[in-house]
Structure 1
Amino acid sequence: MNGIQCKLARVALGWGVLELAKAANVSTQTITRLERGDQLRSSTLERVQRVLEDAGIEFIPENGGGVGVRFKK
């Protein structure tokens, strides 16, 4: 997951930065840093991604058409 995917997933769920930060037990500054492309610890990134996946998001990897997100079936 990269910063753009995080923001896309968050917006798709109708979550603000505060809601995602609370769900992932990180600061709002951490989410903001992630979404602007800053490097985070892998454990922090994994935690945020897991929260979004548990909420129903599936991350689409780079496959020639660019990265993205979608809702799980």
Structure 2
Amino acid sequence: MADLTPEANRAARAILKWSVRELADAAGIAFTTVHRFESTGTATETTKEKIKAAYAAHNVEITNGEYTGARLKLKKD
């Protein structure tokens, strides 16, 4: 999976229509940790993995194609 950036994090939250607080709850981390990451880009790898796992549980994937971002993974029938 691609590296999580503040921009990709905001994109993924937008896909799910999650607030910062909702992401923090889903990832099992503090609200202030999410806010700090989005503001400064500072977070431990463990924190980033928890955030990415919360998105993955809802079929959202962090991507790094030409630009960093996020996408909703479609379920195959």
Quick one: which of 49, 52, 66 aligns to 1:49?
A: 52
**2:6 is equivalent to residue 28 of structure 1:** no
Which residue is equivalent to 1:66?
Answer: 67
- Bigger relative contact order (CA 8 A; separation at least 6): 2
Cα RMSD over matched residues? 1.1
After superposition, the C-alpha distances for 1:18-67 in whole angstroms (9 at most, x for unaligned) are 11111111111111111123321111110111101111111111x3x211
Unaligned 5+ segments in structure 1 are none
- The total of aligned residue pairs comes to 71
Secondary structure of the residue aligned to 1:70 is strand
Instruction: State the TM-score, normalized to the length of structure 1.
Output: 0.87
Q: TM-score, normalised by structure 2?
A: 0.83
Structure 1 runs, 4 residues or longer, greater than 6 Å off: none
Please say if residues 5 and 59 of structure 1, whose CA atoms lie closer than 8 Å, have aligned partners that are also in contact. Answer: yes
